[in-house]
Structure 1
Amino acid sequence: MTNLKEYGIVMWDEEKIASFRRTLLSWYDQEKRDLPWRRTKNPYKIWISEIMLQQTQVQTVIPYYEKFLDCFPTVADLAAADEEKLLKAWEGLGYYSRVRNMQKAAQQIVSDFQGEFPASYEKIVGLKGIGPYTAGAIASIAFDLPEPAVDGNVMRVLARLFEVDYDIGEAKNRKIFQALMEVLIDPNRPGDFNQALMDLGSDIESAKNPRPEESPVRFFSAAYLHGTMAKYPIKRPKKKPRPVQVQAFIIRNENGDYLLEKNKDSRLLEGFWSFPLIETSFIAQQLNLLEDPADNLLETLSQKSAFEENYQLKPLWSDKTFALIKHTFSHQKWQIELVEGLLPAADLSENETLRWVSAAHFASYPFAAPQQKMLAEYMKD
């Protein structure tokens, strides 16, 4: 077990710990939000909510959560789901590796646990895509096990409570906050204790515009009492996403159908359909080397040639221009230029990744956020 004294942290005595638990849980009982996943002890439903809530606001998650459970009401349904139906249900939430890992974990549960969600932390954390935080949340909320659920919100609150002088963004420091929680967690109401700290960290003690004077545990907080709230938590800024320029080709045939391509790239948006995309060089533009509009025109022409060569299709290109589309992933910042073309109805029946699709059938295809933005811009007129 991590020795907190080695990190300059002095733990409270038992009386103060008990007082902290009572204060926090009393506040939670009065202020907790009525959320669909808080009306159940079903570990499957709690798991779905926890994965969805990573990197996504609560109000955004609610309709996705309800829709997902309508599509896949049980672990067995998720395990057996068709890939496109799965991606369609997750469409718009991003971080699509998570839903793929969820399906693999569901398949583990079916094969290794006879379809019953495992009821111990050790077995839960052994499932695909489930780390210590999610395992702790499921174990404590669904099974009342005294397991900490340490996410960014919880680390933020703890860093202020104890003036923790270690970067919460570094994985190696997570053990400090885990050790703090192992001492603090209420053994009688572990799920509520974890959720209370999450709620506190996501709202009153949020990263931006915190309201420390409203915190129910402010008089337990060393940072509040010492006037050092602005210092904590310690966290180095993230790396900026790499800029990438992308050309998107909107190709229609004589029937009014659109050319869609299924992404096979396992690194990003695998399994989703979109207009054909070609990444172009963004370096020259970042360095302002393409100052002559003619150079930009030449680059666009070269990408049209690249499309014709890559896809063995030769559209009649339109001169119509569209607004640039921007979309930011965690590691890339896309700037997308739309290019329109017309083409006779080429036979694509033997091609697994290219397909002619009418706009009326778009709703049945999983589209990631960049495709949805492209489509919205193209359809403006």
Structure 2
Amino acid sequence: MKEKRPILIDAPRVGRSIEPLCGWYQKHARKLPWRQTNDSYAIWVSEVMLQQTRVEAVIPYYERFMTALPTIEALAEVDDDVLLKLWEGLGYYSRARNLKKAAQICAVQYGGRLPGSYTELLKLPGFGPYTAGAVASIAWNLPVPAVDGNVMRVISRITALEHDIKDPATVRAVRELLCGVIEASEPGILNQALMELGACICVPNGAPRCHECPVSAHCAARENGQTELFPVKAPKKQRRIEEKTVIVVCVDDGVLLCKRESKGLLANLYSFLCEDGHLTKETVIDICKQHGITVESVSEMKPAKHIFTHIEWHMIGYLVQGTGKTLPYENDIIAARHQIRTAYSIPRAFASYQKEIGLL
């Protein structure tokens, strides 16, 4: 078994970077809606939405969500279907479910507020070290780091860190390093500055914009002409390919939707009929009959692909015109088109088929 090297990080370089980095952030930070408030609830919602999602995509979702659910109590009481519809398109729906679970705990145990300490935040559903650190530092200025992918990339380049930034041991080492320097700064400003630098200057795709970087004078990767070598990442595991058949059943002015199982991928969301494998037209007709649909016509739809974190769906589709008055499965509904647009959350995986029948 290969022995792991000790993780040594050039702390002095990071320490020298703090003042120019925070000064740059206070002058050049993007004007984002969640940066206009110290409300811990609003900051929490934004941080959860920003996980795995671009800032530009999050802004309209955040504004709509906060208008509909302005308080922790409102989130705790919201109907699941309403919550998932508000989240529709952001993906990773477990984030929304954990938001509600945590809000329910806060409503009962903390008077409708988030608990005011980092350690108590960690006990809530959906709160890991990053989310707890972000909320605690940005909302309450507590001296705890918030280490995400942007921060890992920035620190790895400043220090020429030769360890895999996805390795939990490397993340722990960076977090410990930042714990040692964060008290000498404004914690909320420093954490946001590191994230902002990683998002806008020390970017994940393409060359870093070193000529715009406020800490380039302290960066080991730039100094050695090795910015392209950092961050170090282990090769990605190949995604598993799964073949799926999507069956879009139109009945009068409605569409057949099926609420998915409560566990597994896309749990509790509404979708078109979706079966494993690439099925024939004859099999599709049989499946429709099982769901109480009398088939009048079947036509092929365009193939589509959707990428999840570790899985890739290769889909073929069929458009079915039919009739059906009695549906034998309790999770099946015939939803009017306006209801699909306003009430039922359909995962982005099926977006191409929604577009084909005019629902997007």
TM-score (norm 2): 0.92
Kindly state the Cα deviation for residue 310 of structure 1 after the two structures are TM-superposed.
4.7
**Kept in 1: contact 2:41–2:71 (CA 8 A):** yes
Cα deviation, residue 11, structure 1: 2.8
Shift of 1:342: 2.9
Deviation at 1:252, TM superposition (A): 2.5
3-state SS of 2:196 partner: helix
Corresponding residue number in structure 2 for 1:357: 335
How far is 1:377 from its partner? 1.9
Q: In 2, distance between residues paired with 1:9 and 1:65?
A: 36
1:266 aligns with 2:263: yes
Asked if residue 374 in structure 1 is aligned to residue 325 in structure 2, the reply is: no
1:248 and 1:338 in contact (8 A); partners too? yes
Provide the C-alpha distance between the structure 2 equivalents of 1:37 and 1:47, rounded to a whole number of angstroms: 9
Which residue of 1 is the match for residue 79 of structure 2?
Answer: 82
Partner SS state of residue 302, structure 2: coil
Give 2:103's aligned residue: 106
Q: How far apart are residue 184 of structure 1 and its match?
A: 2.6
- The equivalences for 1:231-242 within 5 A come to 231-242=229-240
Distance, in Å, in 1 between the alignment partners of 2:184 and 2:71 is 29
Give, as a single letter, the amino acid of the residue that structure 1 aligns with 2:344: Y
Residues 28 and 273 from structure 1, CA distance in 2 versus in 1: closer, same or farther, beyond 3 angstroms? same
1:214, CA displacement in angstroms? 2.1
Q: 1:21 to 1:173 in 2, by over 3 A?
A: closer
Per-residue deviation, residues 272-303 of structure 1 (Å, max 9, x unmatched): 2121111106xxxxxxxxxxxxxxxxx41453
Residue 196 (structure 1) aligns with = 193
> Does residue 135 of structure 1 match 2:132?
yes
Structure 2 residue 11 is the aligned partner of structure 1 residue 11: yes
Look up the SS of the partner of 2:204 in the other structure: coil
Deviation for aligned residue 1:6: 4.4
1:232 CA drift (Å)? 1.1
Give distance in 2, aligned partners of 1:144 and 1:200: 19
Separation (CA, whole Å) in 1 of partners of 2:18 and 2:293: 67
Paired position in structure 2 for 1:344: 323
Q: For the residues of structure 2 that align with 1:379 and 1:223, how far apart are their CA atoms?
A: 50
**Gap runs ≥5 in structure 2:** none
5 Å-filtered alignment, 1:278-297, equals 278-280=275-277
CA contact (8 A) 2:134 2:188 kept: yes
Q: Whole-Å Cα distance in 1 between the matches of residues 9 and 68 of structure 2?
A: 47
Which of the residues 268, 271, 287 maps onto 1:307? 287
Report the CA distance between 1:312 and its aligned residue.
5.2
Aligned to 2:181: 184
**Greater Cα shift, 42-51 or 305-314:** 305-314
- State how far apart, in whole Å, the 2-side matches of 1:187 and 1:352 are: 59
Distance 1:54 1:80, change over 3 A: same
What are the Cα deviations for residues 64-106 of structure 1, in whole angstroms up to 9, with x where unaligned? 0010011111001111110000000000000000110111111
Q: Is residue 2:155 matched to residue 1:158?
A: yes
Question: 2: distance between equivalents of 1:135 and 1:307?
Answer: 46
**Is the Cα–Cα contact under 8 Å of residues 160 and 223 in structure 1 kept in the other structure?**
yes
Is the deviation greater in 321-330 or in 43-52? Answer: 321-330
Comparing 198-207 and 299-308, the one that deviates more: 299-308
* Secondary structure of 1:12's aligned partner: helix
Equivalent pairs, count: 353
Residues 1:215 and 2:195 are matched in the alignment: no
Counterpart Cα distance in 1 of 2:171 and 2:317:
44
Q: Which residue of 2 aligns with 1:288?
A: none
Q: Per the alignment, in what secondary structure is the counterpart of residue 245 of structure 1?
A: strand
Q: Secondary structure at the match of 2:173?
A: helix
What is the CA–CA distance in structure 2 between the aligned matches of 1:73 and 1:174, rounded to whole Å?
Answer: 34
Q: Percent identity?
A: 36
> Partner residue of 1:286?
none
Tell me which residue corresponds to 1:291.
none
Q: Give me the whole-angstrom Cα distance separating, in 1, the residues matched to 2:358 and 2:253.
A: 13
- The aligned amino acid for 1:347 is T
Alpha-carbon distance in structure 1 between the residues aligned to 2:324 and 2:9: 70
Kindly tell me: are residues 310 and 332 of structure 1, through their superposed partners in 2, closer, same or farther at Cα, counting changes over 3 Å?
A: farther
Closer/same/farther in 2, CA of residues 256 and 116 from structure 1, 3 Å limit: closer
Deviation at 1:59, TM superposition (A): 1.0
**Structure 1 pair 223–188 and aligned structure 2 pair: CA distance change class (3 A):** closer
Question: How far apart, in 2, do the equivalents of 1:336 and 1:174 lie?
Answer: 37
Task: Determine which of 222, 225, 237 is the counterpart of 1:224.
Answer: 222
Q: Deviations over 1:207-255 (max 9, x none)?
A: 21221232110111111112221111110232232222211112223x3
Which residue in 2 is equivalent to 1:289?
none
| Whole-angstrom distance in 1 between the partners of 2:300 and 2:289 | 23
SS of the residue 1:168 aligns to: coil
Tell me the CA shift for residue 169 of structure 1.
1.1
Task: Give how far 1:172 is off.
Answer: 2.6
